[in-house]
Amino acid sequence: MVIEIQHGLMNSYDDEYNCSNTLFWDNLPAKFVKLFVEKNLLNLKGCKVLDLGAGEGKNTIYLAKHGAKVDAVDISQEALRRLTLLPEYEVYKSQIDLYNIDALDFNSDQSYDLIVCYGLIHALDNKREALCIINKLKKLANEAGYIIIATFNNLLPPPSVQPYLKVDAFLDSDELKRLFNDWTILEYEESIITETHSTSNIEHQHSISRLIAKKNV
Domains and CATH numbers, the chain: 2-214 (3.40.50.150)
Task: Report pLDDT for 160.
Answer: 83
Mean pLDDT taken over the chain: 88
The tens digit of pLDDT for each residue in 13-22 reads 666 666 566 6
Task: Report pLDDT for 209.
Answer: 98
Say what the pTM is. 0.89
Task: Report pLDDT for 201.
Answer: 74
CA dihedral (126, 165, 137, 40) in degrees, to 10, reads -150
Task: Report pLDDT for 39.
Answer: 87
Task: Report pLDDT for 31.
Answer: 94
**CB atoms < 10 A from the CB of 2, how many?**
15
Per-residue pLDDT of the chain (217 residues; tens, 9 = 90+): 443 333 333 246 666 666 566 665 567 899 999 999 998 767 899 899 999 999 999 999 999 999 999 999 999 898 899 999 988 999 999 999 999 999 999 999 999 999 999 999 999 999 999 999 999 999 999 998 999 999 999 999 998 888 888 999 999 999 999 999 999 999 999 999 887 767 667 888 999 999 999 999 8
